[in-house]
Chains A and B, each alone.
Chain A
Amino acid sequence: MKKMIGLLAVLFALNLQMNAQKLMCKDGHVWFFGSTPVENVEAHSKTSSGVIDVATGNVVVSALLKSFEFEKALMEEHFNENYVESDKFPKAVFKGQILNNAEVAYSKDGKYTGKISGDLTLHGVTKKITTEVIMDKKTDVMHVTGKFTVTPQDFNIEIPSLVKDKIAKNIDINIDMNFK
């Protein structure tokens, strides 16, 4: 019986530790920005999710394409229907790893540069992304910010020649997420 209780206590402690090793975010801010001489286009999603596995440095970030808000309703419609085809491909998912995870002391406050490499899947196409993020740990929150650049062509997003000048060739994707 004593052994049983001991075993249970160990299992319980392990379980607690395992739970504590996953940092999560449900209301991440992901936005993109593209500028052309004609106009700037930006759109924001504030309901993106993310999980960091503290032990391995594995990272998953998901964003639903319909959650991106544009200033103009018409742009939002075109983005969903003509470009990312969000009915067919509802989400963008990044799966990667913090390469220098060992350097990040998750248990205490501090600021780190995380080197991240992984696969971004969008519009049915998966592409390798390598970037750096700022990881700022304060009390119980890990604040992660970062930026990388993609092109619509990378993800087979066709831009009709008629509006080619109005859509930026390079799109900056920004993230700002609080992991707890």
Chain B
Amino acid sequence: MKKIHWILLILVIGLLAGGGIALYMFNKPHKNIEETKADVSLPAQELVQHFIDNEDEANILYLNKVIEVSGTLVSIDYNSSGKGMITLVQQEDGLSAAFDSVYVVGHLDFFRELAPGVEVKVKGRCDGYMMLNGVSLNKCSFVR
């Protein structure tokens, strides 16, 4: 093959690879929190206290991290779209863990057994801390 053909071939391969990577990046899937190993594991009470004591410092430590917390269930709610939310530590400014409806539907038996006072271990992504909800964990799953 002539040299020019080789150059063309390499160029085409390069373009295809580049295009492929760009397409992959553009369509890359959301991170699956349930299958991600927790960055840190601690009692829910301790996590909430960190945020109450120093929110800025706690944000640096925990924001966007996958966190596993254990604690006593205070309440559980489902909204009209089937999402579930459990509250730990205390009703206001405690810890709120949100479960996607797909997860709730897939674990109905487990959700049925939940009641205030039950000890649970939950893993989710920490979105931050705010009024009322307190520490907010999202995309949660139960650790058993």
Interface residues as binary, A76-100 with B (CB distance below 8 Å gives 1, 0 otherwise): 1000000000110011010000000
Once the chains bind, are A27 and B28 in contact (CB under 8 Å)? no
A74 at the interface (CB under 8 A from B): yes
A26 at the interface (CB under 8 A from B): yes
Q: How long is the Cα–Cα vector from A26 to B87 in the complex, in angstroms?
A: 10
Once the chains bind, are A74 and B25 in contact (CB under 8 Å)? yes
Interface residues as binary, B82-105 with A (CB distance below 8 Å gives 1, 0 otherwise): 010101000010001010000000
Measured between beta carbons, the chain B residues less than 8 angstroms from A65 are: 128
Q: How long is the Cα–Cα vector from A74 to B24 in the complex, in angstroms?
A: 10
Q: How long is the Cα–Cα vector from A66 to B130 in the complex, in angstroms?
A: 12
Once the chains bind, are B138 and A51 in contact (CB under 8 Å)? no
Interface residues as binary, B108-144 with A (CB distance below 8 Å gives 1, 0 otherwise): 0000000000000000010111111100101000000
Q: Closest residue of chain B to A24, judged by CB?
A: B132
Instruction: List residues 7-66 of chain A with CB under 8 A from any CB of chain B.
Output: 24, 26-27, 46-47, 49-51, 60, 62-66
Once the chains bind, are B136 and A67 in contact (CB under 8 Å)? yes
Q: How long is the Cα–Cα vector from A74 to B64 in the complex, in angstroms?
A: 15
Measured between beta carbons, the chain A residues less than 8 angstroms from B128 are: 64-66, 90-91
Measured between beta carbons, the chain B residues less than 8 angstroms from A87 are: 59, 63-64
A72 at the interface (CB under 8 A from B): yes
With A26-B85, A64-B128 already in contact, the answer to whether A178 and B79 are too (CB < 8 A) is yes
Q: Closest residue of chain A to B125, judged by CB?
A: A66
User: Which residues in A have some Cβ–Cβ distance to B below 8 Å?
Assistant: 24, 26-27, 46-47, 49-51, 60, 62-67, 69, 72-74, 76, 86-87, 90-91, 93, 178
Shortest 6 CB-CB contacts between residues of A and residues of B: A90-B128, A49-B132, A62-B130, A64-B127, A66-B127, A64-B128
User: Which residues in B have some Cβ–Cβ distance to A below 8 Å?
Assistant: 25-31, 59, 63-64, 77, 79-81, 83, 85, 87, 92, 96, 98, 125, 127-133, 136, 138
